[in-house]
């Protein structure tokens, strides 16, 4: 006997996303609150443009903010997608965020603003973020490409790692993730840790640009908040609440 499946409209799926988001978020609430604070610090940043103009860093600042805004948007969406219970899509957005942040870090570390600016705006090409990451590794021996590879294989490319994330298990059944699902405890822990890593990375590269070039363009309260976030980040590591890769960013 063939039974008809109930018709599921897209509006119902949107409703399910919001319902499941509350449930999933509570599984990694302490990490979610950390990510939220990182995001809100960058979203609500205040920059004194007059002080930037006086130091002839206007073009560099605009370039950094252009990359930062793209990274910020991708991280916001990535966070929301994990709350919805679709970690594969969350990681795909996180890769875009990672690429932008690596470019910012490279520009700040090697004063390579004109190099990146010419490639993007004159040559109309994407920055060579893989090359940038390799140069940064020479600086501190940290392999940023390991993270890019993980985001690519598990988020962006249709490899077995990504295909596995297309399903979840509930009450002994294997179900497709159609824009939402209930995360397991392990999934909530592992994937929210990736968000923590990139959220802290985003704060750090923004902090580094201004502390190195125009420190007084940002209020002192900003720097205090960054130090607080760094301490909280280390607490996650020391308390065993955060999986720390051997080669961390």
CB-based contacts of 89: which residues, under 8 Å, 6+ apart? 81, 155
User: Looking at the domain assignment, is residue 155 inside a domain?
Assistant: yes
CB atoms within 10 A of CB 2: 4
What pLDDT sits at residue 241?
A: 55
CA-closest candidate to residue 206, choices 60, 104, 55, 62? 104
- The predicted pLDDT at position 249 comes to 43
How many angstroms separate the Cα of 95 from the Cα of each of 9, 124, 125? 30, 21, 18
Per-residue pLDDT, 247: 40
- On whether residue 210 sits in a domain, the answer given is yes
82: in domain: yes
Determine the pLDDT at residue 155: 74
Residue 208 lies in a domain: yes
Cα distances (Å, whole numbers) of residue 93 to 14, 151, 156, 223 = 19, 9, 8, 27
Q: Where are the alpha helices (DSSP H) in 48-119?
A: 49-54, 58-84, 87-110, 113-117
H/E run at residue 198? helix 185-213
Helix (H, G, I), strand (E, B) or coil at 38: helix
What is the predicted pLDDT for the residue at 246?
A: 42
Domain count, the chain: 1
- pLDDT at residue 176, as a whole number: 83
Domain-located, residue 226: yes
**Following DSSP, what letter does each residue of 166-194 receive, concatenated?**
TEEEETTEEEE-SS--PPPHHHHHHHHHH
Is the CB of residue 109 less than 8 Å from the CB of residue 133? no
In a domain, 164, yes or no: yes
The per-residue pLDDT string of the chain (249 residues; one tens digit each, 9 = 90 and over) reads: 555 667 778 898 899 899 999 999 999 999 999 999 999 999 999 999 899 988 888 999 999 999 999 999 999 999 999 999 999 999 999 999 999 999 999 999 999 999 999 999 999 998 888 899 889 988 777 778 787 777 877 777 777 777 788 778 877 888 888 888 999 998 999 899 989 999 999 999 999 999 999 999 999 999 999 999 999 999 888 776 554 444 444
Look at residue 14 and tell me if it is in a domain: no
The number of angstroms, rounded, from the C-alpha of 1 to the middle of its chain's C-alpha atoms is: 48
DSSP assignment letter at 7 = P
Instruction: List the domain range (segments joined by +) for residue 202.
Output: 22-41+57-238
> What long-range pairs does 8-17 form, CB within 8 A, spacing at least 24?
13/178, 13/179, 13/180, 16/179, 16/180, 17/84, 17/179, 17/180
**pLDDT (0 to 100) of residue 242:** 52
Query: Could you tell me if residue 247 is inside a domain?
Result: no
What is the residue whose two structure tokens read 């363009």? 217
């Amino acid at each position: 006997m063939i039974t008809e499946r109930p018709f599921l409209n897209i509006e119902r799926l949107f409703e399910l996303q919001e319902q499941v988001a509350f449930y999933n978020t509570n599984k990694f609430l302490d990490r979610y609150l950390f990510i939220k604070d990182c995001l809100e610090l960058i979203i609500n940043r205040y920059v004194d443009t007059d002080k930037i103009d006086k130091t002839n860093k206007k073009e560099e600042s605009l370039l950094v903010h252009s990359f930062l805004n793209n990274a910020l948007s991708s991280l916001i969406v990535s966070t929301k997608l994990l709350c919805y219970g679709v970690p594969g899509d969350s990681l795909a957005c996180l890769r875009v965020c990672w690429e932008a942040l690596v470019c910012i870090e490279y520009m700040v570390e090697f004063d390579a603003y004109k190099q990146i600016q010419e490639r993007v705006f004159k040559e109309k090409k994407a920055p060579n973020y893989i090359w940038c990451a390799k140069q940064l590794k020479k600086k501190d021996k940290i392999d940023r490409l390991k993270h890019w590879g993980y985001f690519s294989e598990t988020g962006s490319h249709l490899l077995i790692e990504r295909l596995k994330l297309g399903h979840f298990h509930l009450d002994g059944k294997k179900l497709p993730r159609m824009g939402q699902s209930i995360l397991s405890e392990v999934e909530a822990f592992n994937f929210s840790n990736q968000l923590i890593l990139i959220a802290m990375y985003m704060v750090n590269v923004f902090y580094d640009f201004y502390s190195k070039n125009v420190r007084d363009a940002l209020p002192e309260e900003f720097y205090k908040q960054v130090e607080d976030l760094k301490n909280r980040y280390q607490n996650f590591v020391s308390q065993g609440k955060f999986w720390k890769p051997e080669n961390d960013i």
